[in-house]
Amino acid sequence: MRNGLQWLVGLAIVATLAGCSVGPRVPDTPARPPVVQPPRDLGPLTGSMAHPKSRWVPVGWAELPGFGEDPLHEAWIALVANCSRPNAAFAPLCREVRQLAIATLDEQRQWMTQRLQPYRVESLAGSSEGKLTSYYEPVYEASRVPTAQFNVPLYQVPAGFVPRRPWYTRQEIETLPEAQAALRGREIAWMADPIDALMLHIQGSGRLRLTEPDGSQRTVRMAFAGTNEQPYRSVQQWLMSQGVSRVSRWPDDTKAWVAQNPQRVSQLLWSNPRYVFFREEDLSEVDAAFGPRGAQGVPLTAGRSIAVDRESIPYGTPVWLASAGPSAQLQKLVVAQDTGSAIVGAVRADYFAGTGADAGRFAASMNQSLRLWALWPKQLPPP
């Protein structure tokens, strides 16, 4: 996996340079190996394809808005990452995908039109309109040991943890002796702000600039390890139910409310019974170039990976995304590589914005309309 990530880092650099180039393309010397020629077109479009929560309707490539303008070099990084754990339909194409990593945009686009068939994703009721939100990988300060400042724990999975079995709620975890006993000694690190810790729970992963007991510092990743299998409840919705009119800038508005209502912090936190457990991962320079691993098991690519409802779109599926709104105008190739408890429905996606504060501001503002087209290999039937 590490060698594969190093290869992807190199590909990312190549993609960046290629995306910045101007003028006519001059062939390299020695010449690049010839691009694999795809087989003949497989003929007319098939009928609609049904999934548990969606219907896929075959369309022509002309329906995809902005298809001729997207810098596909950026998306190819996610496609190559996808090939480390591809779904059964996409796996036979991975050799060609890797060969095309340094091809021209026109060659990549031509390959897509010959090898893939676009399907408009609709609800079972026939609606092609949905919602796009965004998430990111936050970065926080933390301590390996509790201090007066750093006193909010992040936990590994508790003793006796059974995946997919409901466990104590957030309120019970913080108040019941038996829950606290199961977590004793399972602390990974300590954060200073309970709202930042809640944000880490909501995002599902993040990076910590961690101070060790000897005073040394290093950056590690907090990766998702499991949940208490309790329902997710929006803290913003709870604040609105309390009469707070402005909660659009998350988490700034929430922190402002906490500063004015310090006696109600626990009540706010407990409004969301869902609780996330983590595992610590070392973060090398190679790993740092990518986001955390999504539910597919591959590193997420900023701006090119999305979380979906897997009963609508299988992991590893290339997807054309179109979204227009006040936050961004997006028309681009992405890959379905993750999921989330709030990502439910046919035309529903969560857009991975990247790592750090800028990505966080973008993600916090994203809530707008969405259309999706699944790009499925022509030569194999759907799952």
Token pair for 294? 């999504």
pLDDT tens for each residue of 224-256: 999 999 999 999 899 999 998 777 677 888 999
pLDDT tens for each residue of 320-369: 999 999 989 999 999 999 999 889 999 999 999 999 999 999 999 999 99
State how far the alpha carbon of 358 is from the alpha carbons of 135, 314, 354, 363, in Å.
12, 29, 9, 9
Q: Which fold has domain 137-288?
A: Ribosomal Protein L25; Chain P (2.40.240)
User: pLDDT value at position 379?
Assistant: 64
Residue 94 contacts residue 33 (beta carbons within 8 Å) = no
Q: Among all chains, which residue has been given the structure tokens 């480390």?
A: 84
pLDDT tens for each residue of 61-97: 999 999 999 999 999 999 999 999 999 999 999 999 9
Domain ranges of the chain: 2-22+51-134+290-377, 137-288
- Degrees, nearest 5: CA angle 72-340-370: 50
Find which of 15-24, 184-193, 360-369, 370-379 is predicted with most confidence, using mean pLDDT: 184-193
Residue 286 has pLDDT above 60, yes or no: yes
Residue 227 contacts residue 274 (beta carbons within 8 Å) = yes
Token pair for 350? 């969560």
Residue 41 has pLDDT above 60, yes or no: no
254: alpha, beta or left? (left if phi > 0; alpha if psi -120 to 50):
alpha
Pairing of strands 329-338, 305-308: parallel
Q: Which fold has domain 2-22+51-134+290-377?
A: Barwin-like endoglucanases (2.40.40)
User: pLDDT value at position 288?
Assistant: 86
Token pair for 190? 């300590």
Residue 52's contacts (CB-CB under 8 Å, 6 or more residues apart) are: 311, 312
Domain 137-288 in the same topology as domain 2-22+51-134+290-377:
no
User: pLDDT value at position 269?
Assistant: 97
If 0-12 CB within 10 Å is exposed, 13-18 middle and 19+ buried, where does residue 46 land? middle
pLDDT tens for each residue of 257-269: 999 999 999 999 9
Cα–Cα nearest to 313, from 49, 75, 51, 85: 51
Strand, helix or coil for residue 11: helix
pLDDT band at residue 287 under the 50/70/90 scheme:
confident
Residue 115 has pLDDT above 50, yes or no: yes
Strand, helix or coil for residue 351: strand
State how far the alpha carbon of 84 is from the alpha carbons of 1, 75, 156, 230, 316, in Å.
8, 15, 27, 32, 10
What is the 3-state secondary structure of 301-318? CCCCEEEECCCCCCCCCE
What distance in Å separates the CA atoms of residue 171 and residue 273, rounded to the nearest whole number? 7
User: pLDDT value at position 299?
Assistant: 95
pTM (2 d.p.): 0.84
Q: Which of 95-99, 128-132, 159-163, 209-213 has the lowest mean pLDDT?
A: 159-163
